[in-house]
Amino acid sequence: MKIAVANDHRGTAAIEQIKAIISELSHECMDFSRADEHPVDYPDMAYLAAKAVSDKKADRAILVCGTGIGMSITANKVKGVRAALCYDELNAKISRHHNDANVLCLSGDLLGTTILRKIVETWLTTDFSGGRHQRRVNKITAIEQGRDPRDV
């Protein structure tokens, strides 16, 4: 898989660890990350990676800011993106298994290296289960298109 990554200045250390995990799992990294801690606005960075997913230039993306909230809000504004903010392995697994999340948002300030690794590995190795969950993802897509999900 091709994984786009991006971060703001508070996600610098975490994104370096994430890029290493992506490489260890034999995935390709599309790197929009910041290598320094000079302030940068998270919407600018989130947009680049989320747009790569939307344009099908990347299969998935991982975004990191201080809390992950800003990246999540921003990424979910991009058509075709289903971004999930995850703080543990269970969130990561369910975001993929049930919601087919194609963007993972993480906190650079609140997650230690061990849990960060577990979340990223779980998210990258969990498949979407489809079935009844596909119907729900279709409803999310309908909302994105301005339609009433009850009509799907």
Catalytic: 9? no
Q: d(Cα 45, Cα 150) in Å, to the nearest integer?
A: 34
Q: d(Cα 73, Cα 109) in Å, to the nearest integer?
A: 17
Enumerate the β-bridge partners of residue 107: 65
Catalytic: 29? no
Of 29, 65, 86, 105, which is the active-site residue?
65
Of 9, 27, 98, 133, which is the active-site residue?
98
Q: Strand 60-65 and strand 103-107: pairing?
A: parallel
Q: CB of 121 within 8 A of CB of 21?
A: yes
Helices 12-24 and 113-125: crossing angle in degrees, nearest 10, is 50
Q: d(Cα 114, Cα 131) in Å, to the nearest integer?
A: 32
Would you name the residues annotated as active-site residues?
65, 98
